[in-house]
Amino acid sequence: MPESRVPFVAGNWKMYKTIAETESYVPALVAKLPVGKPVDIGLCVPFTDLAAAVAAVGDSEVRVLAQNMHQAPEGAFTGEIAAPMLLELGVHGVVLGHSERRRDFGETDRALQDKVPAAIAAGLEPVLCVGESEDEREAGETQRKLRHQVQEALLQVDDEQLADVVIAYEPIWAIGTGQVATPDQAQEAIAFIRALVGDRSEEAAARVRVIYGGSVNSENAGEILTQQDVDGALVGGASLDPVAFAEIVAATP
Ligand code: PGA
């Protein structure tokens, strides 16, 4: 990975941890983080934990992200959360288009087309998730799926802002299954995603961070994170333990 791209490792807690658990997790993580390593570290926590997480990370290098947001700055959208509300809490970024939200909560490429530029405009770092299902991979449709998802979600992002998006390649078959992609599979898909950004802007392709997610743990992280185009990891299950998550951060090249 070229020095121009700082690795990005984020823990995706999903719907785990209360405020009390957040308050004990964060200091345990900070105490175990490698010192002086050039890596951006994120925690993507439930909405109810955001304020506690921001307070707990304090002036450490750990950044706090939300797991979703609505595209409108405010409005009659019961149960939703807007970008300015996240900013007010001191949140750094937001995960958008996670496959669990696409599968279970009707998240669409069309909505993401509005959410990604809305996050950037608000000053939040979007982490856009894309990835193919097992059936799509077996049918040889991985690239078609990735092309569709990446092109759709970035359609309304200016070329100059493409590199402000972090793209997470998360093959659906690898999420929460223990079946991690091979380093070659991760490298190949991520290089393809980088090339898709390159179709819009070569300069953005060189700068954009594309990370891998799906059954990353402290044992397999090193091999994946040292692939040439892999700029970091989005970690679900293994991020719930602060010691294991710190080991993954330490595995960045
Ligand atoms: P996992 O989840 O690491 O538990 O597979 C990754 C994710 O969904 O972001």
Per-residue confidence band for 115, with pLDDT thresholds at 50, 70 and 90: very high
Protein residue whose Cα sits closest to atom 1 of ligand 1: 236
Helix (H, G, I), strand (E, B) or coil at 239: helix
Per-residue confidence band for 4, with pLDDT thresholds at 50, 70 and 90: confident
Cβ–ligand 1 distance for 42 under 6 Å, the answer no
What are the Cα distances from residue 90, in Å, to 56, 117, 180, 208, 234?
12, 19, 33, 23, 21
Phi, psi of 153 (to 5 degrees): -70, -25
What is the mean predicted confidence (pLDDT) over 216-228?
97
Per-residue confidence band for 240, with pLDDT thresholds at 50, 70 and 90: very high
Cβ–ligand 1 distance for 215 under 6 Å, the answer yes
Phi, psi of 13 (to 5 degrees): -75, -15
CB atoms within 10 A of CB 18: 12
CB of 196 closer than 8 Å to CB of 189: no
141 is annotated as an active-site residue: no
CB of 218 closer than 8 Å to CB of 4: no
Residue pLDDT, tens place only, 85-100 = 999 999 999 999 999 9
Cβ–ligand 1 distance for 237 under 6 Å, the answer yes
Please state, rounded to an integer, the average pLDDT across all residues of the chain: 97
Pocket test for ligand 1, best of 234, 239, 247 (most atoms within 8 A of CB): 234
CB of 69 closer than 8 Å to CB of 91: no
Protein residue whose Cα sits closest to atom 2 of ligand 1: 236
Among candidate residues 92, 98, 100, 247, the one labeled active-site is 98
The ligand 1 atom at the shortest distance from the C-alpha of residue 214 is 5
Residues in CB range of 89: below 8 A, 6 or more apart: 50, 51, 54
Per-residue confidence band for 172, with pLDDT thresholds at 50, 70 and 90: very high
Cβ–ligand 1 distance for 175 under 6 Å, the answer yes
Q: How far apart are CA 55 and CA 64, in angstroms?
A: 10
Does the pLDDT of residue 1 top 70, yes or no? no
Going along the chain from its start, the domains and CATH numbers come out as 8-250 (3.20.20.70)
CB of 249 closer than 8 Å to CB of 34: yes
Return the half-sphere exposure (C-beta side, CA atoms, 13 A cut-off) of residue 174: 25
What is the mean predicted confidence (pLDDT) over 128-134?
98
Residue identified by tokens 């972090």 is: 166
Measured in Å, residue 14 CA sits from the centre of ligand 1 at 9
Residue pLDDT, tens place only, 173-201 = 999 999 999 999 999 999 999 999 999 99
170 is annotated as an active-site residue: yes
Quote the percentage of the chain above a pLDDT of 90. 98
